[in-house]
Chains A and B, each alone.
Chain A
Amino acid sequence: MKTITELEQQIVEDFELFDEWEEKYQYIIELGQKLKPLAAEYKMDGNKIKGCQSSVWLNAYNEGDKIFFEADSDSTFVKGEIALLINVLSGQSAEEILSNELGFVDRIGLRQHMAQTRANGLAAMIKQMKLYALGFQHKTA
């Protein structure tokens, strides 16, 4: 299993291939189209993330000390963003999830293309994932 930093570096390198925003957009849409849909039973209000312009549902579970995420959205672009976050965070330990700043979001130039509310949506997703990690840490402490 690669570390969060290694996974982030891989994404940054993937995005360096793109010169245009258009290409980044298309790549993120493709990631979104490939993301496994969340089972209907998890698409409930309790799993809905507040602060996103689009509807986003996030489910988390653990296997041993590793935390796994699965998520869905009515927007394919948002699903693509989620796919990036899941790629980096899913399967990591609570400590690793909580200690990482996820600087890749800025480094791939995603934030600069988003209005504040959209960036806040992304921030809300990251926050929710970290809250799960925190909750898991407390439960097992």
Chain B
Amino acid sequence: MSTTDKNISSFNVAQIREDFPILNEKAHGKPLVYFDNAATSQKPQIVIDAITNYYSHYNANIHRGVHFLSQKASNAFDDVRFKVKHFLNSRSEREIIFVKGTTEAINLVAATYGRQNIHAGDEVLITAMEHHSNIVPWQLLCEEKGAKLKVIPMNDAGELMMEELDFLISNKTKIISVVHTSNSLGTVNPVKEIITKAHSKGIPVFVDGAQSTVHSIIDVQDLDCDFFAFSGHKMLGPTGVGCLYGKAELLEQMPPYMGGGEMISSVSFEKTTFNEIPFKFEAGTPNIADVIALGFAIDYLMQMDREASFNYEHELLTYAMHHLSTIDGVRLIGTAKNKASVVSFVLNDINAFDAGMYLDTKGIAVRTGHHCTEPVMTRLNIPGTIRASFMFYNTKEEIDALVEHVRKAIAFLKPQHA
């Protein structure tokens, strides 16, 4: 406790909140309590300003023009690749590919590496708690190739049943794609252990870092994952931009994803030769403004005391889980030992959507439903949950408001004749 307390006292949430202008907004005339951070995070002013500055002062297409603005935009854009390299600790900036987000990164790998290496009778291994984005691209690939999608099961607490892994990995397994942190349950999966096991059989591993990147230090060399992806908008950056990390030796062997400008070396009607990585995978004019703004989001995170922010978020998580669990009629969903700051819960006899709308009338933003993880809900035999997900700019006072209004929602919504 003492070390945690020390970290929290050194973590100045009031000061942090000043960086996020939206936190002063009202919702239905009430102070906004934003607990939908797992869907998308809010943005600090420097990220918002970066977009305006780019369009106001140096908007130009990159890598093509000889002129002043194009040089300036190209430099700003190229710098971000180095920032991401540093942020993920990859060996080289050539291993960083700009994409729209995690979904596109998974589709890219499934359509290139997957199509090249997975054949009839082969197997793709995922987990029981994948987001639909890490199910459907592999399913499409398996259908196309006559391959099989296999699933690492989870227990009632929402933890992977790692003892099953040895039975699920076989010489037919061609890739393992796992979610680092579950968006609907908050479970942090033992990806390093999975990677070590997979590599002992020569199987590459894709790690979906959409939820983990803002809540933990990512070191792709330490993880030794073969692919890693994150979405900018879930880590203080803008929507429409994300990154795929891939080991250079794999990326070099993979065919291109989309054809177009930038990704080519030379084009004739007889034959096109492709550019080197990472450009081979970046066809067309990229999302320049948002990539530049993503760079500012990374700057913002890197200048923070991240360990203190993780400890603070953990404190918010345990505080919320403790207080919600004391309410009669609340059942917490996802009680893994290793959890990120996501609390999912259901209410006895009360529809999650109705309760979510009740909270909305009080200015509290949560998400309800299956959170794009329908198989998780099926596994746990529930239609959906109410999910509150926290970021380091949230406060215990906001959690108090959530707890108070969950109590009131239960009183208001409980069935009349129950």
Q: Which residues of A contact B (CB under 8 A)?
A: 20-22, 25-26, 29, 33, 53-55, 74-78
Contacts and interface: CB of A to CB of B under 8 A. Distances in A.
Contact of B369 (A20, A21, A33, A53): A53
B361 A22 contact: yes
A interface majority secondary structure = helix
Interface in B357-385: 357-358, 361-362, 369, 383
B369 A25 contact: no
Contacts of A77: 351, 353-354, 357
A20 B30 CA distance: 11
Given A20-B29, A29-B412, A54 B353 contact: yes
A45 to B, nearest CB: 16
Contacts of A29: 354, 412-413
A55 B28 CA distance: 27
A64 to B, nearest CB: 34
B253 to A, nearest CB: 41
Enumerate the 10 nearest inter-chain pairs by beta-carbon distance, A residue then B residue, closest first.
A22-B361, A75-B351, A77-B354, A75-B353, A25-B361, A21-B28, A76-B354, A75-B354, A33-B416, A74-B351
A21 B416 CA distance: 23
Given A22-B362, A53-B369, 7 more contacts: A22-B361, A26-B412, A29-B354, A29-B412, A53-B353, A55-B383, A77-B357
B351 A25 contact: no
A22 B28 contact: yes
Nearest to A74: B351
A78 to B, nearest CB: 8
Contacts of B353: 53-54, 75, 77-78
A120 to B, nearest CB: 14
A54 B351 CA distance: 9
Which residue, B357, B358, B383, B415, has most C-beta atoms of chain A within 10 A? B357
A85 to B, nearest CB: 18
Contacts of B361: 20-22, 25-26
A21 B383 CA distance: 26
A104 to B, nearest CB: 20
Contacts of A33: 415-416
Nearest to A25: B361
B353 to A, nearest CB: 5
Contacts of B351: 54, 74-77
Contacts of A74: 351, 383
Nearest to B361: A22
Nearest to A77: B354
Contacts of B357: 25, 77
A26 B353 CA distance: 14
25 contacts: A20-B28, A20-B29, A21-B28, A21-B361, A22-B362, A25-B361, A26-B361, A26-B412, A29-B354, A29-B412, A29-B413, A33-B415, A53-B353, A53-B369, A74-B351, A74-B383, A75-B351, A75-B353, A75-B354, A76-B351, A77-B351, A77-B353, A77-B354, A77-B357, A78-B353
A55 to B, nearest CB: 8
B346 to A, nearest CB: 12
A76 B355 CA distance: 10
Contacts of B416: 33
A21 B361 CA distance: 7
Interface in B11-67: 28-29
B382 to A, nearest CB: 12
B360 to A, nearest CB: 8
A14 B261 CA distance: 59
Contacts of A75: 351, 353-354
A29 B355 CA distance: 11
Contacts of A55: 383
A46 B361 CA distance: 34
Contacts of B413: 29, 76
A21 B29 CA distance: 10
A21 B28 CA distance: 7
Nearest to A28: B357
B214 to A, nearest CB: 24
Interface string B120-160: 00000000000000000000000000000000000000000
Contacts of A78: 353
Contacts of B415: 33
A78 B357 CA distance: 11
A28 to B, nearest CB: 9
Nearest to A80: B354
A77 B354 CA distance: 6
A78 B352 CA distance: 12
